Amino acid sequence: MRILYANLLCCLVGCLALTGCGGGPRVVPVSGKVTHGGKTFTKKGSVTFYPDKTKGNESTLTASGELNEAGEFNLKAGGKDGVPEGWYKVTIVSQGPTDSKNPYAIPKSFIDSKYATDATTPLKKEVKSGAGPDAYVIDIP
């Protein structure tokens, strides 16, 4: 019986340590669109928001979502729909096959590789509650 109580206590303490008493940081819904030169980006891929510590975002959560053929995405962070408020570096990855007959061929990127890592991307967005409908349009020049 003592082992059961000890296990329950460990689980409770671990849960509180990981999420805090309020169940983790408050998140804001983030849906957006990717454009390329002002036009809808029509390739599938992924969009990821990395906390931008240079702009004061100390969050440890990254947020990501799939990019569909209409250029739209919805982000999730820490298993929740949405993103904690703050500034983020935005990465976009979109690749396709170079040879449809060879499944082992190295894929080609549909956008410049500098947008694929948080170390090189120039794209940044601020997530804040009450943001307008175009707040999360990301244009790749």
At 22 the pLDDT is: 55
In the DSSP assignment, the letter for residue 64 is E
How far is residue 78's CA from residue 60's CA, in Å, rounded to a whole number? 10
At 21 the pLDDT is: 53
57 close to 90: Cβ distance less than 8 angstroms: no
Write down the mean pLDDT value for the chain.
86
Model confidence, pTM:
0.80
Which regions in the chain score pLDDT beneath 50?
A: 1-2, 4-20
Residue 118 CB partners (closer than 8 Å, separation 6+): 48, 50, 89, 91
Domains of the chain, each with CATH number or no CATH? 26-140 (2.60.40)
**DSSP H helices in the chain:** 2-19
Digit-coded pLDDT (tens) for 104-132: 989 999 999 999 999 999 999 999 999 88
How far is residue 17's CA from residue 23's CA, in Å, rounded to a whole number? 10
107 close to 96: Cβ distance less than 8 angstroms: yes
At 16 the pLDDT is: 43
Neighbours of 111 (CB within 10 A): 17
